[in-house]
Structure 1
Amino acid sequence: MTIKKAVIPVAGLGTRFLPATKALPKEMLPIVDKPAVQYIVEEAVQAGIEEILFVTSRNKEAILNHFDRSIELEQHLDEKGKWSELREVQSLASLATFQAVRQTTPLGLGHAILCAESFVGDEPFAVLLGDDLMMSEKPAIAQMMAVYEETRQSVIGVQNVRREHVHKYGIIQYAAKDKKRYEVSDLIEKPQPHQAPSTLGIMGRYVLTPSIFQDLRSIEKGEGGEYQLTDAIKSLLQRESVAAFPLLGDRYDIGYKFGYMRALIEMGMKHEDMQEEYIQLLEDVLEAQKNRVLS
């Protein structure tokens, strides 16, 4: 089957960004002129995804509202002759078909994916985590969907990370490497550097076969009393092969303040309409900081 459905888990509370996220979903924090979640949706749509399910929680209505029509705003822009802005906001609702399901209890990523079972049905599907932005010439999830089309097996998106940072990631162990993909033999959630079987960290992108739901229903709670997706994939490995694909592109972990600030800086520098001013601002800030240190 061609993959046409994507699940985007956005139920997290965003406590690392309090108080900014007390009333605003962290996924709606702007990266220059778009909320973070819009970049993720655009990645999925550019890859050919037609239906998107947000797995949400309480007070996340703003996410679905962002991809809905706003008649009052459209009328205002029309009356003011702001045609470019009008086309921009109107286009959001036509990107894909959007749905939402609420994860009423925060029981982990595995449980969030299980909440999407009725939406997915018996089709293969994509998962894009709301904390991970991937910027690349070919959408990251499209790179993985191409592997699925060839192999018809689940695919995990990975990138090499520094060994001293493996404790921040799920790490794959692989049995073999074929061309540019790996045959996964095990997954270890946030190992210590000396325990990590590789430095290939999971980057928040998955293509999964629907049989994963059998494993999601049978796994026990893991770290933090939550149902871990990595545990379900480890169970899936007993019946199906799983590939890992090294993603091409830049990844920003916007679930942390540093990753969010890095995304703001690097993606801001790519905006042609303000690129020169932006670079000059950064140079001025660095020069001022240097002078303060010297003084």
Structure 2
Amino acid sequence: MTSSVNPSPAASPDGTSGDVTSGGIRTVVVPAAGLGTRFLPATKTVPKELLPVVDTPGIELIASEAAQAGASRLAVVTSPRKQGIMEFFDRDELLEDTLESRGKTEQLNKVRAVNEMITAVSVNQDRPLGLGHAIGCAEGALDDDEDSFAVLLPDDLVLPFGVMNEMIKVRQRYGGTVLCGFEVPEDEVSNYGVFDIADPGDEDAVDDDRVCTVTGMVEKPDVEDAPSTIVATGRYLLDRSIFDALRRTKPGKGGEIQITDAIEILIAEGHPVHVYIHKGGRHDLGNPGGFIRACVDFALDSETYGPSLKRWLQNRLEE
């Protein structure tokens, strides 16, 4: 189900709303206004977020992750040329009736799944001015009583699903903003945004081997300048104060407003910011190489496709 931005509390399909009073989340923001140029010519007509990982569009995987984290509203930040994303969340009664009349129950359930898991609302970003700008566009999608919200970047699949639930627990314990990070080999840090974290003996440090206090962020540093080997990935649990920080963030290269700059403002003003270090895996759906790996990974785990694909791959690699 889709709608335009609505200021009233969002209810999930079962009639409940996200429990923001106990530290949970109600709204997940999904920035999806990009042009998808790495996937041209396919993305000339099909939004990148609708390209299927085996048989499930990337945007549905994100919607499922959001619902599993307790969210009831998916605020999709998009542009007029990508309205196909929002159409994906609309019911197709003719298709459903046809599948039902033909007894295709499995396919019918797949078609209905996304409509039953979460309510999607459209947020317009008229110009591509950076991730921070996209997140700022979604402020009107939140209810007045929401003091936090999540951001899931559709280019990033963080596995296994459930990392946002752990990030919510971190916020419940420490407050403020919580980010998701991975440890990478030292020679790979230049490919990522890298966290500067408090040393174990510092006053701001926390006693948790999976959580670190963030004291700063460095975007794609040289190896010798990297403050740590903990790098950012596309999962954010943001305190609502981020919107005020974004309004005070000066545009950077290309006139873009970066979320990392806004987070730096919060850190400088004493807001708690922590990173949860995830020990699972990740797929980058933002480039064809990463997308292919995700498709193979998901297909190998499939009871339908896995066994035959594994045999084919083994034979192909032996040629």
User: Within 2, Cα distance between the matches of 1:259 and 1:177?
Assistant: 34
Hey, what does 2:273 align to over in structure 1? 242
Contact 2:180-2:277 at 8 Å conserved across structures: yes
Hey, what does 1:257 align to over in structure 2? 288
2:156 is the counterpart of 1:125: no
More displaced stretch, 219-228 vs 237-246: 219-228
* Equivalent AA in structure 2 for residue 21 of structure 1: T
Aligned to 2:306, the other structure's residue is in SS state helix
Hey, what does 1:166 align to over in structure 2? 189
* Equivalent AA in structure 1 for residue 294 of structure 2: A
* Equivalent AA in structure 1 for residue 154 of structure 2: G
2:73 to 33, 51, 72: 51
- TM (norm. structure 1) is 0.94
User: Within 1, Cα distance between the matches of 2:289 and 2:113?
Assistant: 31
- Superposed displacement of residue 224, structure 1: 3.4
Hey, what does 2:180 align to over in structure 1? 157
- Superposed displacement of residue 178, structure 1: 2.6
* Equivalent AA in structure 2 for residue 8 of structure 1: V
2:256 is the counterpart of 1:226: yes
Hey, what does 2:305 align to over in structure 1? 274
- TM (norm. structure 2) is 0.87
- Superposed displacement of residue 130, structure 1: 1.2
2:52 is the counterpart of 1:24: no
1:89 to 111, 124, 127: 111
User: Within 2, Cα distance between the matches of 1:75 and 1:170?
Assistant: 48
Unaligned runs of at least 5 residues, structure 2: 1-20, 199-204
User: Within 1, Cα distance between the matches of 2:228 and 2:39?
Assistant: 31
- Superposed displacement of residue 225, structure 1: 2.6
Q: 1:190-205 to 2 correspondence within 5 Å?
A: 190-205=220-235
Contact 1:8-1:130 at 8 Å conserved across structures: yes
Hey, what does 1:66 align to over in structure 2? 88
Aligned to 2:305, the other structure's residue is in SS state helix
Unaligned runs of at least 5 residues, structure 1: 289-295
Cα deviation 1:112-157 (Å, max 9, x = unaligned): 0000111124520010001001121x51111111111222221000
Hey, what does 1:144 align to over in structure 2? 167
Hey, what does 2:132 align to over in structure 1? 110
- Superposed displacement of residue 74, structure 1: 0.6
User: Within 1, Cα distance between the matches of 2:188 and 2:60?
Assistant: 28
Aligned to 1:45, the other structure's residue is in SS state helix
Aligned to 1:142, the other structure's residue is in SS state helix
More displaced stretch, 77-86 vs 109-118: 77-86
Q: Among the aligned pairs, what percent are the same residue? A: 41
Hey, what does 1:293 align to over in structure 2? none
More displaced stretch, 106-115 vs 164-173: 164-173
Aligned to 1:150, the other structure's residue is in SS state helix
